[in-house]
């Protein structure tokens, strides 16, 4: 069994939490309190980690918010990864994949240079583009399957000649590609009824479920439909609705308290269902 997956399941069971905290740390949205600091995004991330640590099973770093800031962003990504609690699953939401020769370097970047436990990848270019990721059998590779956005209808929900929607074909292939239980899929919380169908089809896959909060998905539905038969095997991501609480904060600790309250609420919702 992949050690990343083991780690995630241990954390889910010990905490009774599937909460994945999304560090979509958009500098234009972080509270002004942080703006005068030398590294506002890193300090913001550290505050979020302090506030959510006791409730989180995983952290997802969406690399777009760091890459868009060039070198300074990459330094923040590096130091954020080091600040994550080692008992939580760390996910690079990088949505990579290319010809095999190039994918090998993407895999090295996100599994070795930055030693994340997991990465998100796109299935469009087929098995040889994903094989370099699956070769890391101690990690978790989340393949985009049925995404949370309305545009999932453009390709993912298209019906193939054999009568299956494309996302079902992706699911079937991912099941055969996994090594040592290192495969996962991304399914949007906004697709709750289909989420249940996919879970029934693939009880052995690990699920990353984004789309709760700002995109309208419900935490309880996501956990209910997405958990595996042992009530583990999935993490549910919340980014904006958790890390950007509304309010005018006079101190960092006031800000952290607001985030902690929101994380505790989400954790309570999860515990009620698990």
Ligand X SMILES: O=c1ccn([C@@H]2O[C@H](COP(=O)(O)O)[C@@H](O)[C@H]2O)c(=O)[nH]1
Query: Which residues are near ligand X by CB under 6 A?
Result: 22, 24, 62, 93, 147-148, 186, 188, 210-211, 213-215, 237-241
Contact 165, 157 (CB under 8 A): yes
3-state secondary structure of 70: helix
Contact 209, 189 (CB under 8 A): yes
The distance of closest approach from Cβ of residue 190 to ligand X in the complex, given in angstroms and rounded to an integer, is 8
Please state, in angstroms and rounded to a whole number, the distance separating the CA atoms of residues 70 and 32: 22
The distance of closest approach from Cβ of residue 217 to ligand X in the complex, given in angstroms and rounded to an integer, is 8
The distance of closest approach from Cβ of residue 155 to ligand X in the complex, given in angstroms and rounded to an integer, is 13
Q: How many C-beta atoms lie closer than 10 Å to residue 45's C-beta?
A: 26
Q: Between residues 23 and 107, which has the closer beta carbon with respect to ligand X?
A: 23
Please state, in angstroms and rounded to a whole number, the distance separating the CA atoms of residues 145 and 107: 19
CA dihedral (231, 237, 243, 244) in degrees, to 10, reads -120
Q: Between residues 13 and 169, which has the closer beta carbon with respect to ligand X?
A: 169
Diameter of the chain by CA atoms?
59
Contact 63, 94 (CB under 8 A): yes
The distance of closest approach from Cβ of residue 220 to ligand X in the complex, given in angstroms and rounded to an integer, is 16
Please state, in angstroms and rounded to a whole number, the distance separating the CA atoms of residues 223 and 39: 35
**Is 265 marked active-site?**
no
The distance of closest approach from Cβ of residue 60 to ligand X in the complex, given in angstroms and rounded to an integer, is 7
Q: Which residues pair with 89 in a beta bridge?
A: 58
The distance of closest approach from Cβ of residue 159 to ligand X in the complex, given in angstroms and rounded to an integer, is 20
Alpha-carbon Rg for the chain, nearest whole angstrom, is 18
Contact 238, 20 (CB under 8 A): yes
In the DSSP assignment, the letter for residue 181 is T
DSSP3 helix / strand / coil % (the chain, rounded to 5): 50, 15, 35
Contact 235, 267 (CB under 8 A): no
Measuring CA to CA, which residue among 184, 178, 187 is closest to residue 205?
184
Tell me which of 7, 29, 95, 265 is the catalytic residue: 95
Positions annotated as catalytic residues are: 95
């Amino acid at each position: 069994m992949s050690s990343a997956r083991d780690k995630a399941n241990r954390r889910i069971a010990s905490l009774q939490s599937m909460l994945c905290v999304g560090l979509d740390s958009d500098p234009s949205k972080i509270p002004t309190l942080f703006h005068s600091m030398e590294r506002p995004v890193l300090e913001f991330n550290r505050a979020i980690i302090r506030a959510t640590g006791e409730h989180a099973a995983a952290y997802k770093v969406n690399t777009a918010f760091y890459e868009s800031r060039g070198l300074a962003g990459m330094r923040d990504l590096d130091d954020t990864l080091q600040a994550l609690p080692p008992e939580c699953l760390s996910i690079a939401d990088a949505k990579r994949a290319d010809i095999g020769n190039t994918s090998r370097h993407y895999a090295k970047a996100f599994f070795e240079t930055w030693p994340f436990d997991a990465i998100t990848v796109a299935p469009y270019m087929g098995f040889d583009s994903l094989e370099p990721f699956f070769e890391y059998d101690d990690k978790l590779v989340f393949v985009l399957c049925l995404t949370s956005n309305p545009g999932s209808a453009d390709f993912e929900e298209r019906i193939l000649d054999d009568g299956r929607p494309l996302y079902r074909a992706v699911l079937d292939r991912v099941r055969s590609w996994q090594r040592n239980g290192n495969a996962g899929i991304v399914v949007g919380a906004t697709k709750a009824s289909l989420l249940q169908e996919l879970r029934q089809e693939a009880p052995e896959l690990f699920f990353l479920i984004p789309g709760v909060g700002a995109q309208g998905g419900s935490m309880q539905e996501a956990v209910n439909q997405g958990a595996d038969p042992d009530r583990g095997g999935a993490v549910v991501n919340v980014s904006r609705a958790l890390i950007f609480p509304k309010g005018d904060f006079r101190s960092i600790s006031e800000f952290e308290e607001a985030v902690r309250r929101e994380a505790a609420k989400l954790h309570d919702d999860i515990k009620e269902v698990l």
